Amino acid sequence: MDIVKELRQRQAALGGIMGELELDAVALVGNSAVGPLAYGCFRYFSDHRTYYHLQALVARPEKPMAICVGSILHLDGVHNKGFEDVRLGPDILGSVLTVLSEQKVCRLGVSLEMLPANWELALREKFPHAELVDVTQEIFALRSVHSDYEIECIRECAKMTDAAYEAVCAMAKPGVRMSDLHAEMDYAMKKAGAEETFTLMSNGVFSYTDNKLPCIRPFSWPDDRIVQNGDCIGMEITPKYKGYWTQLARTVCVGELNQDLKKAHTLQLKAIDFAVEMFRPGARLEDILKALWAFTQEHGYIPKLPFGHIIGLDLDEGGRGSLESELVIQKGMNFVLHPTMVLGDMDYSIFWGDPYLVTDNGSVRMNACSTELLVL
């Protein structure tokens, strides 16, 4: 599908939101981060790479959007994305205030999650009688159900994770530096077309009684540690393609089979299969998470969040930190499932999971790589 046609459909849907909420306009600011629910809102309606506070988007119900950008992106906005009104200027906030001043503003839609404090103060000063209405959830509901265009982007991104996993498995062996493995993984994804990556890795000997495999977490970047015989390597392989993220979580054995890891891997696959069966249109996310929690306990393990998360233009779009969720599963949603099941005093377990797309007939795994536990 042509991106301009895709954007027009999204803009029309935003017009529907403005009509329902009786908004005079919507203003969204471009930001650059990983995680916040509203990070992808600007890109969703513009298909522009997002730069911190250097772009903004203004929409009104009765006309196409006005996008305020720097001159570098001007031609792309006019000629390639179908925008009829592109404003230039170094003062992006000033441009937004000018555009909004051209017509009455009584109710202005914004994302309070992403709106900078100085922007909010300027908007309230410029439009003292206007009401700022948070549209984050309404736009999230729109974004979470992916179109055919988006699904194709996600499929291509999943191919990049397969390529990266294959590259790491081909290189991993005793004596290799973790930083070299990370570089090889990143190269494989960038070579395949990834616009950026957010990849985490860890190594050590996994054990239920004396675990030496550190938890993958933000900023657990690879260092110059040397992989030893008997080590395990955990990885979250996470590229972005045309704005859309996907994630593959895997743990492998190096040199010899780790029996505790084999046991954890077997349970992990059972838990994922159990959850996938419930990811069908009409199901409630809360019910799925609570059922997976009970499944873990029934198998003698301690469940710990997160079990996974929704993924799209944001790397983590929700469904992560709580068993309470009003979200109803719909066709076109994309989830990464990576349950956490531990024993005793462990804080974390192995890293294993895949992205799944919800279809009319259930959920489909987006990756083609093996789900077997590998010994390299």
| pLDDT tier, 65 (very low <50, low <70, confident <90, very high otherwise) | confident
DSSP strand pairing (25-29 vs 107-110): parallel
Say what the pLDDT of residue 21 is.
Answer: 97
Largest CA distance in the chain: 69
Question: Of 273, 227, 260, which Cα lies nearest the Cα of 349?
Answer: 260
pLDDT at position 256 over 90:
yes
CATH dotted code for 3-143 = 3.40.350.10
259-281 pLDDT, tens digit each: 999 999 999 999 999 999 999 99
pLDDT digits (tens, 9 = 90+) for 328-341: 999 999 999 999 89
- Side chain identity at 122, as an amino acid letter? A
Supply the pTM of this predicted model: 0.90
pLDDT tens for 208-242 read 999 998 887 655 666 788 999 999 999 999 999 99
Q: Which residue has the higher pLDDT, 84 or 176?
A: 176
108 has which bridge partners?
A: 25, 132
For the stretch 1-48, pLDDT in tens is 688 899 999 999 999 999 999 999 999 887 655 555 666 788 888 888
Q: Sheet of 56-60: strands edge to edge?
A: 85-88, 63-69, 56-60, 25-29, 107-110, 131-134
In CATH, what number does 148-365 get? 3.90.230.10
Confidence (pLDDT) at 88: 78
- What's the mean pLDDT when you consider all of the chain? 89
- Domain residue ranges in the chain: 3-143, 148-365
What is the per-residue pLDDT for 20? Answer: 96
| 3-143 and 148-365 share one fold | no
